[in-house]
């Protein structure tokens, strides 16, 4: 795509961290996807902690713990979608495990994402720093166009 041209996105990916602003971000993503007539994918990433947890806490079955965390994350994604958007196909509610940057890039490639939505925390009216995990890294080396949605923190 040329820098001087712009096309409507066909596939939008919204990364959610289930923080207090996730409902706002999901609603914004949904409205934007309706305006653009695009497919919306909602993504939550469960950090893969198996290697570290096994070293520090060897008596816990990390596989069971990890599967419980993923199940709880899927349940929360379903509840968030039901509250904010309504019925969202399971194939568009994504809960993945791994390193956030790698997972986001994999989903961008796999789902042919045209636009990535990221949350941006604003503290006391200043744009001092990105508070959502890994959002700042996309400014340096984006793998697709992205939109940063600001929200003011109390």
For 80-118, the pLDDT digits (tens) are: 999 988 888 889 999 998 888 888 889 999 999 999 998
> How far is residue 124's CA from residue 143's CA, in Å, rounded to a whole number?
30
Q: What is the pLDDT of residues 110-151, one digit of tens each?
A: 999 999 998 876 544 333 333 444 556 666 777 888 888 887
| Number of Cβ atoms within 10 Å of the Cβ of 1 | 9
- Average pLDDT across the chain, whole number: 80
- Name the nearest CA neighbour of 38 among 73, 64, 13: 13
Q: Is residue 76 part of a domain?
A: yes
Residue 6 lies in a domain: no
Question: Quick check: is 1 in a domain?
Answer: no
Between residues 59 and 20, which one has the greater pLDDT? Answer: 20
User: Does position 10 have pLDDT exceeding 60, yes or no?
Assistant: yes
Q: Answer whether 42's CB lies under 8 Å from 53's CB.
A: no
Residues 97, 128 contacting (CB under 8 angstroms): no
Average pLDDT, integer, range 24-29: 92
Is residue 42 situated within a structural domain?
yes
Residue 47 pLDDT: 78
Range of the domain at 63: 11-149
Rounded CA gap, 108 and 67, in Å?
24
| pLDDT given at position 128 | 37
Q: What is the pLDDT of residue 53?
A: 54
Structural domains counted in the chain: 1
Residue 4 lies in a domain: no
């Amino acid at each position: 795509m040329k820098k001087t041209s712009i096309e409507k996105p066909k596939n939008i990916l919204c990364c959610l961290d289930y923080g207090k602003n996730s409902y706002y971000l999901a609603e914004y993503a949904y409205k934007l996807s309706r305006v653009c007539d695009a497919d919306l994918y909602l993504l939550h990433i469960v950090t893969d902690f198996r290697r570290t947890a096994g070293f520090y806490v060897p008596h816990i079955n990390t596989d069971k713990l990890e599967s419980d965390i993923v199940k709880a994350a899927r349940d929360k994604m379903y509840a968030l979608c039901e509250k904010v958007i309504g019925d969202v196909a399971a194939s568009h509610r994504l809960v993945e495990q791994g390193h956030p940057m790698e997972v986001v890039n994999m989903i961008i490639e796999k789902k042919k994402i045209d636009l990535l939505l990221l949350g941006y925390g604003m503290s006391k009216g200043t744009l001092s720093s990105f508070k959502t995990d890994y959002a700042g890294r996309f400014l340096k080396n984006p793998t697709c166009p992205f939109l940063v949605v600001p929200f003011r923190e109390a």
